[in-house]
Amino acid sequence: MEKFYHLTEEDWSLHRKGFDDQERHRQKVKEAIQKNMADMVTEEQIIMSDGKRVVKLPIRSLQEYRIRYTEEKSSHAGQGKGDVGDQIARAGGEPAPGQGKKAGNMRGEDYYEADVSLAEIEEALFSQMELPHLIEKEKSTSFITDWKINDIRKTGVTARIDKKKTLMASFKRNSLSGTQSFFPVLPEDRRFRSFTEEKTPQSKAVIFAMMDTSGSMGPFEKYIARSFFFWMTRFLRKKYMAVDIVFIAHHTEAKIVEEGDFFSKGESGGTICSSAYSLVLDLIEKTYSPDRYNIYPFHFSDGDNLASDNPQCVKVLEKLLPHCRLFGYGEVNQYNRTTPLMSAFRKVQDPLFRSYVIKKREEVYPALTYFFTPEK
């Protein structure tokens, strides 16, 4: 037999206090993630992780507000010579506590470290990203499932209780009896949400991940390219069920490789970037028809290319663009030098072609949000 319990005001306030504290903590963690996103995106322990790692973030202490007296005052009593109290704001443009070039005696700000999972980082990052210009193509047999609230009922399971509507029903009943209060909450006041499952087939898409693995790509260049493709791959698999990812490595020749090899193996030799573009064009003609797939090629390189191949690169690129929803070129160029490939691409005047130069690790994050900008 099911037991019913009366919910008292004290019980509810205790629950609310715990919820508010938890919500405040979660908000602080979200703020810390967003503030440190540029560093975390290229954090080695994440890029090399198995998806189960956690990272530690410094988060400002959740202390209650209180007046802190300055140490310069000789007396901390509540009276003074006409002053309202001890000075709260720092005068004369003094540095914040714990900051500055010299040793000091001011109290620093309190921080604690919170463990942040890869899933929490993904939630914050991927909420800012989507495949641009995605249009309806051939529908996949995979479905994306959504749950929509379609009714509020007086019976249901506890997990689906609607607290707000429950309290409103309680307040209305208590008011009719002459007491304007939310409490007590009786069993007949409880309201439950009813959901409807909606399945929507997704349009097909294919992403061609092309990476330069020639000898000119040093450890920094390869790590930046792999960091970008690491997050891109997780983003696509998290948010899109009907997306194929084709991994292509190239030097003077291009070839399709396994995902594990793409992120781990290095090669050497010269650079002929048009080999990768020609391979993509061939795959589009034979396997990934634009009538069935949204097509997104992404290429990362250091910009060095065989001089005689630059015109061929532009030529093949211009053949690819009419079939693409977007073509993204990322160049790892930490010295901000003029490169042969970027110079050749300046001739391409097509809005479907986007390029981004990454000079330091922290710029992988803005590159991701630049290429995968949500449609307005």
Phi, psi (degrees; rounded to nearest 5) at 131? -70, 120
Note whether 131 and 373 are within 8 A (CB). no
What whole-number distance in Å separates Cα of residue 243 and Cα of residue 294? 9
Domain 204-371 in CATH 3.20.20.70 = no
Burial 336-349 (b: 16+ CB within 10 A, else e): eeebbbbebbeebe
Note whether 250 and 213 are within 8 A (CB). yes
Which residues are 59's β-sheet partners? 112
Q: Which residues of the chain have pLDDT under 50?
A: 1-16, 61-70, 73-74, 76, 78, 80-93, 142-145
What whole-number distance in Å separates Cα of residue 356 and Cα of residue 222? 16
What whole-number distance in Å separates Cα of residue 230 and Cα of residue 232? 6
How confident is the model over 312-332, as pLDDT tens digits?
999 999 999 999 999 999 999
The one-letter amino acid at 117: S
How confident is the model over 323-365, as pLDDT tens digits?
999 999 999 999 989 999 999 999 899 999 999 999 999 999 9
What whole-number distance in Å separates Cα of residue 175 and Cα of residue 180? 5
**How much of the chain is in helix, strand and coil states, percent to nearest 5?**
40, 20, 40
Which residues are 112's β-sheet partners? 59
Closest CA to 313 of 271, 375, 371: 271
Q: What distances in angstroms separate CA 13 from CA 4, 19, 146, 160, 184, one per listed residue?
A: 19, 10, 33, 20, 12
∠ CA(110), CA(365), CA(40), 5° rounding? 40
> So where are the chain's domains?
1-64+111-127, 144-200, 204-371
pLDDT of res. 149: 67
Q: 73: which 2 tokens?
A: 């005052």
Closest CA to 45 of 123, 118, 94, 138: 118
The residue with tokens 């990812």 is 245
Phi, psi (degrees; rounded to nearest 5) at 304? -80, 130
pLDDT of res. 91: 42
Rg (CA), the chain: 29
Note whether 225 and 211 are within 8 A (CB). yes
pTM more than 0.75: no
Q: Which helix (H) or strand (E) holds 320?
A: helix 310-320
What whole-number distance in Å separates Cα of residue 268 and Cα of residue 212? 10
Burial class (CB in 10 A: 0-12, 13-18, 19+), 292: middle
